[in-house]
Amino acid sequence: MTTPGTSASRISRISGILVCPACRGALTSNGLNYECKVHGTFTVDELGRPFFINRKIFESKEGEHLSGINWLKSFFKRYPKIYYTIWHVFCPVLMLKNGPNKMFRLLSSNELVLDVGSGPERLGDRFINLDVFPFPEVDIVADAEFLPFKDDSVEAIVSESMIEHVPHPLIVAKEMSRVLKKGGILYVSAPFITPYHASPDDFNRWTTSGLAALFPDIEIIEKGVRSGPWSALLMFLAYWFGVVFSFGSRKAAPFLAHMFMLILGPFKFLDFIFSSFPGAEAVAAQLYIMGRKK
């Protein structure tokens, strides 16, 4: 018997829609692992979390997460309460307005939500967390380019500040659209005016029009500012000071930038006012879209 609220219990609720991420073929499970007739065995860890990911890809991502400034962030992410307390107070990006909870008015009370690229944060009991790294609170370890779900099988999908960190965002967007049910709800946020921030790498920026273009099968219901102009300014100042005061040290610059974030972070709360100003989306740190699959 699985304990309510564990990864194993959450996986049991969606076991009927899990497929091989490589060929989308049927899986069999003996409780210890998952088996695909074509692509072999996918292991399950001691917490009941399946690893639906190529071992070489996982090892490369693990190495990236455990190097440089990523090592420091990954260390704190082992303790989600501490990490997100520091993040919400001191990180210069305000993420307290226009969040994924907006989608709940469009969902029934029993519909589950897939969080793609969740990191160690669980947004609620209804969320199934998927990430490429086995942080605390992650239920499924998988690559967003190869989601282990049947076509048209997931009622709702959230992806916060993830899509900028993948090298092939179009593929990831198509995967999310593929597994989302017709009529299902999608919420995606991504940075617009934000400095380079590796987690473990960083590739792209988007306007709301750019985000919508990634998802042609989604009818956009709402779009706007997730983090406003003060967040954008403060992030650039933190990284600018990091570069200036590193005196040419490439390794020191990102660590110093994070130190300046601790000083500048509290000013982000001005975005409670300024993110609602007309035109704020033109200079915002983070934007979002929400829509329904056609």
Per residue in 129-188, pLDDT (tens digit) is: 999 999 999 999 999 999 999 999 999 999 999 999 999 999 999 999 999 999 999 999
Both tokens of 188, joined, read 């995606």
Domains of the chain: 7-293 (3.40.50.150)
Q: Which amino acid would we find at residue 107?
A: L
Tell me what the pLDDT averaged over the chain comes to: 91
Q: What is the model's pLDDT at position 71?
A: 67
Q: What percent of the chain has pLDDT over 70?
A: 93
| Single-letter residue type at 288 | Y
pLDDT at site 143: 95
How far apart, in whole angstroms, are the C-alpha atoms of residue 165 and residue 162?
A: 6
User: For 60-64, 92-96, 221-225, 282-286, which range has the lowest pLDDT when averaged over its residues?
Assistant: 60-64
Q: Which H or E element spans position 62?
A: helix 55-65
Q: Write the pLDDT tens digit of every residue in 252-276.
A: 998 899 899 999 999 999 999 999 9
Taking CA atoms, 64 is separated from 58, 85, 127, 137, in Å, by 10, 24, 26, 20
Would you state the torsion angle of the CA atoms of residues 59, 83, 163, 67, taken in this order, to the nearest 10 degrees?
-30
Give which of 62, 68, 57 is closest to 168, Cα–Cα: 57
Half-sphere exposure of 112 (CA within 13 A, CB side): 16
Query: Once rounded to an integer, what is the mean pLDDT over residues 36-46?
Result: 94
d(CA 162, CA 25): 27
Residue with tokens 């082992």: 78
pLDDT over threshold 80, residue 66: no
Whether the per-residue pLDDT at 57 is higher than 90: the answer is no
Dist. CA 160–CA 95, nearest whole Å: 10
pTM: 0.92
Q: Rounded to an integer, what distance in angstroms lies between the CA atom of residue 255 and that of residue 13?
A: 41
